[in-house]
Each structure stands twice: as structure tokens, then as C-alpha cells.
Chain A
């Protein structure tokens, strides 16, 4: 097999930002049109005029199978809702939006689909990416291909540390451990006298990182707190009977759980069956992701429950959120979870950035101009004002609160509602997580 040297252009190598929109076929077309001489000098210039007509192609990556499929479905539904609404209103700078949807699965296959979106479908932007296991691999590819990528829920963190502190094309979700940090801040406020804590999370990075972060924060507020048990069943386990028995045996004052999918509902049900929360307080940092499956029959009042960045039943909801919740319920007979907010924010911020970069001339901007316009941009999302930090990380509010049965639904909601900003609960750009937490003035 012939290997190309460093100096030889590799025809199979993905094109970088310099030659982003110029394909060999377009080049040959120009030559055949007798414009060879002109084309030779224009190889590096994007075909702005050709790109600025017809629909805007937007790539969407979403999980369709496995435990995270409902999360992926929510993100896609919100993106479709955004596109439909936008197209009715005239699109972006007069161009209709066309979604090209691909599946997020394992890192290798998802990277291939990402390449297909950019190189073959020639999308203007890619939205989506949920699992950090996948998005960690997508980051360098997005940088190489030179098309903006706005992740819904995935980061480029390895553990709790950032691997891409200064990306150009990659826009990442909130740091994974933020909801555990928020829960750590709120635990001493709502549960006085906690001396011992047990923890359970999935046996992969998210579960372990949330537990470590929660412990670090709680220790700042309750220095003599003891962590008496930690359990990490693997993702996909559906029988927690033995885990719950071990949690009962630990006689901890409080259980912290970072489950976020169907397993949150299952453990809640199996815990209720043995009366676990009659003697123990509970913190579910992320179970709001499956909030409408947490039925009152088995989910007690008095737990701390996290909804990530959007709470569907917020009494102070904006007209936008109210409209979205109403239409989502009417269409899917479900109440929307937080992933809708991440997805809507990504899509809407792209639209606003394009319009901002286009300026008064309303000429379709280059991709690099859109990226510049995204940096620091603040817009109205479903959950309220959200923004992009200068280092391309989402800034937003987190909603957590105490479960209550006093509502019109057959599942729990929260009251009071606590809103904690990422300005308070997310490590600043460039800092180390545990140094930052240990430096807090509590």
C-alpha cells in the first residue's frame, strides 16, 4: 500500500478550513467552463455565492438506541421544533433550514458519520453529541474539518479535566460534574445534621466524576462528613435489590445517586419497595432527565432532585418555554426533559450568530465568522438566558429542588425550586476542578 509522505497532498485526508468548500468536482466544473485561470487563483476561496442559496443544511448527531435513546430523542425533537418554527418565520437570512440527521453510537462510527455530514452532505454546522466518550473523539475531528460543531451534552473532558482548552470550531456542553456540584451546594441547606453519606452511580466516567465532585463540595460545607459506601453498577443493570440492601446496611444518613436514565426510575421503585427513604435522605442529581417516569406511587416527597438546565414546570417560565412544553406534550404525550434546552440553545445560538456575523449587508457569512460571532454570545433559550463562554463552553442555570406530590401530574415535581448558575457551580476556564473547590470561601 502506498503511503503518502507529509509533503504529498492526501486525497483521502479530510479537508481543512483553508479549502473547506472547494471540492475537486467544483474545480473541474470551473475548468470545463473555461474559467481555469480564474479558478487557479481561487482554490482557497470558499464558494460563498454557491453556498448562500438554497436551504441551509444543518447536521444533527443524536443517540437512537440504548439507555440514552430517550435523551437523544428529546434533543432531536427540540431541534425539529426549532427548525419548523424557524422555517415558518422565513428561515435564516431568508434561507430555509434542512436537518440532516445521523446516529451517535460508538466513537469510531460516530466520527465517520461526522465526516460524512461535513464532507459529503456539506452541512454548514453540526449540532448534537451527548456522550462524552464519543464527543472526546469528535473534538479533534471537528477542529480538523473546520466546520462549527455545537455539542448538546458532550464535553471534551477526560475525567474532570479539559482536554481542549482553546478550541476553534468545537463548542462544548457544560462540564459533566456541574449537577453534582450544585447538589453538593444544596445538600447542607436542605438536609441538616448529615454525618454519613452513601453513593451510587454508573460505572463509567460520569458516575465516578459526579461522586468525587459531590464529596469534595460536601466536605467543604460539612468537614466531618463520612462517605461510608460507594457503589458503581455498570450501565444497563436493571436489578438493584442487592445494591439497595447494601445501602440499607450502611445505615447512611443520605444516599447520593447520579443515575440519569431508566435506571433512575428502577432504583427509585426498588428502593420504595423496601422503604429505603423512610430512614434515609436522598439526592438524585440528574434523575430529572426521566422526570415524568418518577411516579408519585414510588417516588417520595422530600428528595433533592436535579433537572439539569431546564425545569418544564417552572412557574416563572418564559412564554417560549410555555409554548414549547404545551406543543411537546400535545405531540408526544410527554413533558420535555432538559436535553431539549441544550439542543434548542445550540440551534438558536447558531441562527443568531449567523445573523450577527452577516451584519447589515445580510450576506451569508463564512464559517469562521460564525464561530467568532458565537463566542460570548448570549441568547434566549427555553430555560431563559444562556450564553457561550469565550472558551466555547455553555453557560446556563441548573434547576434542582425538593420533590413534592402537590401538583396536577401523576409524577413528582419540585418545590421550592433552586436555580444555581454555572458562574457559581462550574470551574472557571483553565482551572483545576479540585483546586478550585478547595479554594472556595465557605
Chain B
């Protein structure tokens, strides 16, 4: 919507992961029941999304009308600064939530064992996707967002306060990133460079899915995840190659993405 190339989205994901680890560490240290660890994790992940306001008001608003290369360079600078800030705050060693990942046990589905926590995260992701869909299509704020995305000048002429809309939308996006980072952390470990890893995958997702709509990103993300898993099972050497071959093919044959509309 803001027509800005924001590489720092990966850094917000990493920030959410680290804050999530700290929140859970504090919660467990304070004697909280392990079964409820997901509550402080999600709350901390969402709360740290407030950093979006600072980045948007403090930096991005100055570059909305600048060249895309400039936006790219500035958000990349944010990536590097946040990586160092994370190192300074949490140190360089990977941080994890220990064995809490297994706190909810496992279930057997179609002959395979799956950790219940993974199912909770999948359910949470679907709920978030539906909630965002509802926000965009069924609320007044959603209509304003869509109108602004379609024609910023017209929306502004009709009385939309662009400053507030941009701040809100960017903060919402940041909070989704930080929440994602927090939710993924019990299954893995927080590492300062995890943000950059995510940016690369996110790039593949938006190219394959197509820019411009939540639905495209959702389908793109599913496509990348499933293709990667299939490649690892069938021909592991193709794990990374396959995704980028598809990225190249999409860029050449259908630059708007497999699921992007003509005007997306």
C-alpha cells in the first residue's frame, strides 16, 4: 500500500523472536505454568510491533516520494543497524526457549507425528489471515487502506489523513512481523542474522505469489513452503535451486506473479 521497498521487515521478525525469548524466560523465571507460555510470547511479540511507529515516523515518511533505490538502501541500513542492536542487547549466541516447544505434546495425523505447537501456530496464522481479510474488506479503515493503495492523491483529496493511515498500516505490518518471529521461536532458536534469511524467502514469496494483495502473498507463501518440502524429499539438491528457478521463470513469463491480477 505504501509503495515502499522495506527490507527491514526481516529485522522486525528477528526482533520479535528475541523479545519473545526474553519474555518467555522472564515468565518461566517468575514461576508461570509452562502450558501458558504462549500467552506472554504472543503478547510480547505483538507489543514490540510498536517499534513500527518509530521507524515509520522517524525514517520512512521522509522517503515516500524518493526513488525506490533510495528506499531500498535506507531500509537495508535499518537491517544492519537492527542486527547490531540485537547483538548488543542479547549477545551473539543463539537464544532459545529450551524444551517448551514440546510442552503441548504431539499428535498422530495420517500416520505422521506432529507437534501440537506447530498446529497451534498454523491455526494462529490462519486466524490472523482471516482477521486481516476481514479488516481490509469489511471495515471502514480497510476501505480507506484500499482506497489509499489504489490512488493516494485522490484519497488525500477526499480528506484521508495520510500521515495517520501510513503510521497505522506500517505499525500493523510490523506487529505481524514481530508476532511471527515470536511464534516461531519455540521450535527454533533466535539468531541475529535470521532476519536476512527471511527477507530472501519473502522476496521469493512475493515474486511467485504476486505483489499487491494479501491473497497473493498467502498463496505464494504456501507455494514456496510446499515446493521446498517436496524438493527436499524428492531431490534434496534442488532445495534452494527449485524456488529460484521458479522465481526467474515467473519474472520472465508472468512478472506480476502467478496469482497477481493485471492491475496488481
Contacts and interface: CB of A to CB of B under 8 A. Distances in A.
Interface stretch (A129-137, A258-266, A312-320): A258-266
Interface of B: 87, 92-94, 96, 98-99, 101-102, 106, 112-115, 117-118, 184, 187-189, 191-194, 197, 228-229, 232-233, 236, 239-240
A274 B106 contact: yes
A242 B228 contact: yes
B189 A262 contact: yes
Contact of A238 (B102, B197, B239, B240): B197
A230 interface: yes
Given A64-B92, A274-B113, A297-B102, A249 B233 contact: yes
A192 B54 CA distance: 60
28 contacts: A65-B87, A66-B92, A66-B193, A232-B236, A236-B191, A236-B194, A238-B188, A238-B189, A239-B184, A239-B187, A241-B187, A242-B229, A245-B233, A246-B232, A246-B233, A262-B94, A262-B96, A262-B189, A266-B94, A269-B96, A269-B99, A269-B102, A269-B188, A273-B115, A273-B117, A290-B94, A293-B96, A296-B99
Contacts of B193: 66-67, 236
Interface of A: 64-67, 69-70, 73, 229-234, 236-239, 241-243, 245-246, 248-249, 261-262, 265-266, 269-270, 272-275, 290, 293, 295-298
A195 to B, nearest CB: 21
Contacts of B99: 269, 295-298
Contacts of A242: 228-229, 232-233
Given A236-B194, A238-B189, 11 more contacts: A66-B92, A70-B93, A73-B92, A73-B93, A233-B239, A234-B240, A265-B96, A269-B99, A269-B187, A270-B188, A274-B106
B192 A65 contact: yes
B121 to A, nearest CB: 11
Contacts of A237: 197
Nearest to A278: B113
Contacts of A69: 92-93
A274 B93 contact: no
A248 to B, nearest CB: 8
Given A66-B193, A238-B189, A273-B115, A230 B236 contact: yes
Given A232-B236, A236-B193, A238-B191, A273 B96 contact: no
A276 B204 CA distance: 30
B197 A265 contact: no
B231 to A, nearest CB: 8
A296 B102 CA distance: 12
Contacts of B189: 238, 262, 265-266
A295 B189 CA distance: 13
Nearest to B196: A236
A72 B106 CA distance: 37
A231 B231 CA distance: 11
A273 B232 CA distance: 19
Given A70-B92, A238-B191, A265-B94, A274 B112 contact: yes
B92 A65 contact: yes
Given A242-B228, A246-B236, A295 B98 contact: yes
B239 A274 contact: no
Nearest to A276: B113
